[in-house]
Amino acid sequence: MKIKNLSFTATAFVVVFFASCNSSTSTKEVNADSTSTNSNVTMVDSTGNQLIPEKKNFETTIDGKPTDLYVLINHNGMEAAFTNYGGRLVSLLVPDKNGKMTDVVVGFNSVEGYEKSIEPYFGATIGRYGNRIAKGQFSLNGKKYQLSVNNGVNTLHGGKKGFQYEVWDADKLNDSTLQLSYLSKDMEEGFPGNLKVKVTYSLTADNGLKCQYEATTDKETVVNLTNHAFFNLNGEGSGTILDHKVQIYADKYTPIDSGFIPLGPLAVVKGTPFDFTRPTTIGARINENNEQLRNGKGYDHNFVLNETKVNGLNHAATVTGDKSGIVMNIYTQEPGLQFYSGNFMLSKNTFSDGSKDDFRTAFAMETQHFPDSPNEPSYPSTVLKPGQVYKTYSVYDFSTVK
Task: Please indicate whether residue 288 is annotated as part of the active site.
Answer: no
Quick one: which H or E segment has residue 330?
A: strand 326-332
301 is an active site residue: no
Q: What three-state secondary structure class fits 281? A: strand
Q: Could you tell me if 396 and 328 are in contact, meaning their C-beta atoms sit under 8 angstroms apart? A: yes
Alpha carbon 192 to its chain centroid, in Å, reads 25
Residues 74, 35: contact at Cβ < 8 Å?
Answer: yes
- For 163-174, give the secondary structure using H, E and C: HHHCECEEEEEE
Question: 157, 228, 301, 369: which is the annotated catalytic residue?
Answer: 228
Question: What is the number of alpha carbons within 13 Å of residue 81 lying toward its C-beta?
Answer: 28
Q: What's phi and psi for 165, nearest 5 deg?
A: -105, 0
Burial class (CB in 10 A: 0-12, 13-18, 19+), 118: exposed
**Dist CA 391 CA 388 (whole Å):** 9
Cα of 111 vs its chain's centroid, Å: 17
CA distance 166 to 151: 19
Q: Which of 189, 366, 369, 376 is catalytic?
A: 366
- Any bridge partners for residue 182, and if so which? 197
What positions carry a catalytic annotation? 228, 366
